[in-house]
Amino acid sequence: MLRKRSYFKSKGLAYFLVLPQIIITATFFYWPAIRGIVSSFMRSDPFGLKSTFIWFDNYINLFKDPLYLKSIGITLMFSGSVALLSISCGLFLASMANRALRFTALTRTLLIWPYAVAPAISGILWLFLLHPSYGVVAIWLNRVFGLNWNPLLSSRDAMLMVVLASSWKNISYNFVFFLAGLQAIPKSLIEAAAMDGASPFRRFWSITFPLLSPTMFFVTVMTIIFSFFESFGVIHAVTQGGPGGSTNILVYKVYQDGFIGLNLGSSSAQSVVLMLLIVFITILQFKFVERKVQYTG
């Protein structure tokens, strides 16, 4: 039986030891969050010299703005597409890499690489591929297939471009987790099923997939959070919310109104709404999706 090796005579020392962590968390997470909530109830000038408390005006104005509601819709669609694309591709690549016999290490490294690329850089990279004026792929698409690819004007093309750029990065992240998850599945189970004559698809669906569900759940939650927040760099580099606001996801709108437009009250209110939204989505996932997850291996 394990016995506790160390114990504290007084609680004081324990609190003292966790104090640095608490201070850091409080200064860099709680304090700004509280400031954000406070300023969402204020109307203030950019330099912060004059502030008036205006109750819920910032929030009321937000929800009166049809474009804000549209932006929520765009965000949900965007993160849904990113999640779907990057999870399915990540899972596919991971199951392929799990079976690869030769150059395993090399294949895996190459597949993990994109995650190391900063979002802004990856955005620029996709821009150089897909910009209608100077994008290599875009020019080729237009010339060879006569496709009128134009993310500067077409909302659909622009959305496709930012979804591709964001997913590309996220595939690698998901790949790492899926690969680890796959390798944790006992080979004997699959071999036994194979001997019983189960097809590869059947083996995947009935054995691998359920055993992978904890990973799947984790990856889904992370991807959705990622697409809500981290995709900022991609949007900023690629479309800047355009055309006509069709890729203006919530986090980018927070930045545009707050940092570019210097409308701090509204921007704070938007970040509070964003925070509540992500909390809500995460709770939903835990409540309804996690039930189906099997943690027993």
Partner 1 sequence: MSFKRISLILTLVFVFSFIESAFAKPIEIHWWHAMRGSRGEVVQKIVDDFNKSQSDYKVIATYKGEYDEVLNAAIAAVRAGKQPHIIQVFEVGTQTMMMSGMVYPVYKLMDDYGYKIDWSRYLQPVLSYYVNEDNKLMSMPFNSSTPVMYYNVDMFKKAGIGRLSKEKPITWDELGEITEKIAKLGVKGGLVTAWQSWTQVENYSAIHDLPFATKANGYEGLDVQLTINNDKVVNHIARLKKWMDDGNRFFYGGQKYQGPKSEFIAQNAGVYIDSISAIAKLQSSVKDFEWDIAPLPVESWMAEPQNSIIGGASLWVFNGKKKNEYKGVAAFLKYLANTDVQILWHKETGYFPITLDAYEKLKSEGYYEKYPYQEVGIKQLTRRNPTKSSRGIRLGYFVQIRNIINEELELVWNGKKTAKEALDSAVERSNIKLSEFAKTYK
Contacts with partner 1, residue ranges (CB under 8 A): 43-50, 61, 65, 67, 131-134, 152-155, 240-245, 256-257, 259-263, 266
For the bound state, the minimum distance from the C-beta of residue 134 to partner 1, rounded and expressed in Å, comes to: 5
Q: For tokens 């707050």, what's the residue?
A: 258
Does residue 66 have a cis bond before it (omega within 30 degrees)?
A: no
* Helix intervals (H) in 49-149: 57-64, 66-99, 104-112, 119-130, 136-140
For the bound state, the minimum distance from the C-beta of residue 59 to partner 1, rounded and expressed in Å, comes to: 14
Nearer to partner 1, 48 or 200 (CB): 48
Structure tokens at 261: 């437009």
Nearer to partner 1, 70 or 99 (CB): 70
Q: Tell me the three state secondary structure of residue 8.
A: coil
Structure tokens at 255: 């930045």
d(CA 177, CA 290): 17
For the bound state, the minimum distance from the C-beta of residue 60 to partner 1, rounded and expressed in Å, comes to: 12
Q: Tell me the three state secondary structure of residue 214.
A: helix
Nearer to partner 1, 135 or 181 (CB): 135
Nearer to partner 1, 182 or 269 (CB): 269
d(CA 177, CA 87): 10
For the bound state, the minimum distance from the C-beta of residue 151 to partner 1, rounded and expressed in Å, comes to: 10
For the bound state, the minimum distance from the C-beta of residue 242 to partner 1, rounded and expressed in Å, comes to: 6
Nearer to partner 1, 100 or 260 (CB): 260
Residue 161: enclosing H or E segment and its boundaries?
Answer: helix 155-183
